[in-house]
A = this chain, B = another copy of it.
C-alpha cells in the first residue's frame, strides 16, 4: 500500500485515519495548519445531518431539489449538484416522477432519484435540468410536472434551470415576461413560452435563474453557492472541484464555433438523444 509505505518519517504514519487523511489531501497546505481534517469537530464546521429526511428538520436548512426525468442530460444535473452539495447547511436531493433510476438522454447512464415529486412539498432551491429533444418535449407536455413546478416555485428562494430546463419552466407558465436563457440552439423557442430571450452564461431575473447549455450549470451553481452562503464559500467550492477550465479548444459558443460546427454539434446531440 503506497500510503502505508511511503517512506515518510514514522510520525507521518502514526495515528490511523487522521494522519492518512493529511497524507492524502492535506500535505499541499501543510500538516498542522488548522485544516480541521481530524475526525469531526473541525473549527467553524457546520454539521450536516445526512440521515435526516430531505425536507425534514435538522441542520440542513437549505434544500436543493433537482428534478430528474427520462432523457435528461446528466451533466445538467450533476454540475450544479457537485458545486452545491458540499456547502454547509445545504442538502441536495434528486427527485423524479417516480423514485428510482432515471435514464439520461444517451441511454448510457442512469442516475437515481431518491424521492418522488409527490412526496416533495417544499424546497428552497429548485433546479430543472435540460435534455435532448425527446426528454424536453415530454416534460413540456407533462401537466403533472407543471403542477408540481408551480407549487414548488411559490415558496422557493431560487427557481433555476440548466439548458432546455428553462423551456420546461416556461411550459409550466413560470417565465411569462421573464428574461431567460437556454441551450444555444433552443434560444428561439424561449419566446414561444413567453420568456424574453436574453444573452448570458446564466440570467438572473428576480428569483429565477436560467443557465445556458449543459456545462453552464456549473457556473450558475457557483453563483447559487454565493447567494446561499457567501463569496468565500463559493470561491472555495470552485477550488474544491478544481474548476480552472482549460479546454483544449475554444469552440464552446455558437459564435466561436461557426455554422459548420453548429451543424455537426446538433447532429451528434440529436443522434445520441435518439
Contacts and interface: CB of A to CB of B under 8 A. Distances in A.
A248 B264 contact: no
A212 interface: yes
B24 A186 contact: yes
Given A3-B192, A218-B247, A242-B183, A29 B259 contact: yes
A49 to B, nearest CB: 11
Interface stretch (A119-127, A147-155, A229-237): A229-237
Interface residues of A, number: 119
Contact of A74 (B2, B82, B269): B82
B137 A192 contact: no
A67 interface: no
6 contacts: A42-B271, A50-B274, A92-B109, A214-B240, A218-B247, A235-B251
A2 B141 CA distance: 9
A213 interface: yes
A111 to B, nearest CB: 6
Interface in A1-29: 1-3, 6-7, 20-21, 23-29
